Amino acid sequence: MTILKYVGTVGAAALLTAAVALPAAAQSANAVLHDKSGKDVGTVDLLQTPAGVLIKLTLKGIPAGEHAFHIHAAAKCEPPAFTSAGPHFNPANEKHGMLSGHGHAGDMPNLHIPQNGELSVEVLNTAITLEKGKPNSLFHPDGTAIVIHEGVDDYKSDPAGNAGARLACGVIASAPAR
C-alpha cells in the first residue's frame, strides 16, 4: 500500500514529522533525478519508518501534467532512454497496478506537476524496505532507481501501466546513518 501526501506548507511537513516516531538511527537513502540531457530535475530522500519507507520527492523543471512515478529494479540511469533502470521493482512477482491487486512494490501514485514544473510531495510506500537482506529491500544486489515517466500510469496494464517513455531517473543510494 502506498500513501500519498502533498506538502504545501512547512507546518504540514512538521506535523507529519511529529506524527511518525523514528528510531534514533533510522535508515535512509537518497537519489538525484536527472532528465535525458543530464540536467538535475529533483531530489528524493527515503527514510525507513515503522510503517514503511517515507519518500520525499522535490522536483523542479518537470513538464506540467500527470506523470507516472515508480521504483525500478536496477541502479542504472543511462540517458537518454533510462531503460538501463530495468522493469518496475517487483520482488513478489505481482501484476502491475493498484487496480489489479497488490501491484508491484515499486508502483506509486501518479504525480500531478503544476504549471511551474515544481512539486514537493511525500509518499509512504508500505511494500518496500531499506533494510538490507529482506526480499523487498531496495538494496538488493542490482540496486534500484526512481523513474518519472512521460505519461500517466493507468494503474492496471501489465507490466508498466502504459506510462510511456522515461522522463527522469535517479539511482537510489544509501545515506549515512542519522
Digit-coded pLDDT (tens) for 68-93: 999 999 999 999 999 999 999 999 98
Indicate if the pLDDT at residue 20 is higher than 70.
no
| Any domain includes 16 | no
Distance CA 169, CA 176 (A): 22
The pLDDT tens digits for 2-14 are: 444 433 333 333 3
Q: For a pLDDT cut of 70, what percent of the chain falls above it?
A: 84
Q: Domain of 149: which CATH number?
A: 2.60.40.200
- Integer Cα distance of 76 and 67 in angstroms: 20
Number of other residues whose CB lies within 10 A of the CB of residue 18: 8
Residue listed under C-alpha cell 510503517: 51
Q: What is the pLDDT of residue 170?
A: 97
Among 12-21, 127-136, 161-170, the minimum mean pLDDT is found in 12-21
* pTM: predicted TM-score of the whole model, two decimal places: 0.82
Average pLDDT of 98-127? 90
Flag whether 14 is in a domain: no
User: How much is the pLDDT for 147?
Assistant: 96
Q: Is residue 13 part of a domain?
A: no
User: 22: which 3 cell numbers?
Assistant: 523514528
- pLDDT tens digits, residue range 130-157? 999 999 999 998 999 999 999 998 888 7
pLDDT confidence of residue 166: 94
Query: In this structure, is residue 17 part of a structural domain?
Result: no
Structural domain harbouring 58: 2-8+26-174
Lookup result for grid cell 504540514: 12
In a domain, 80, yes or no: yes
Structural domain includes residue 15? no
Specify the number of domains making up the chain.
Answer: 1
Structural domain contains residue 146:
yes
**Beta carbons within 8 Å of 53's beta carbon, 6+ residues apart:** 46, 47, 124, 125, 128, 129, 130, 138
Q: Band of the pLDDT at 158, cuts 50, 70, 90?
A: confident
Q: Is position 60 within any domain? A: yes
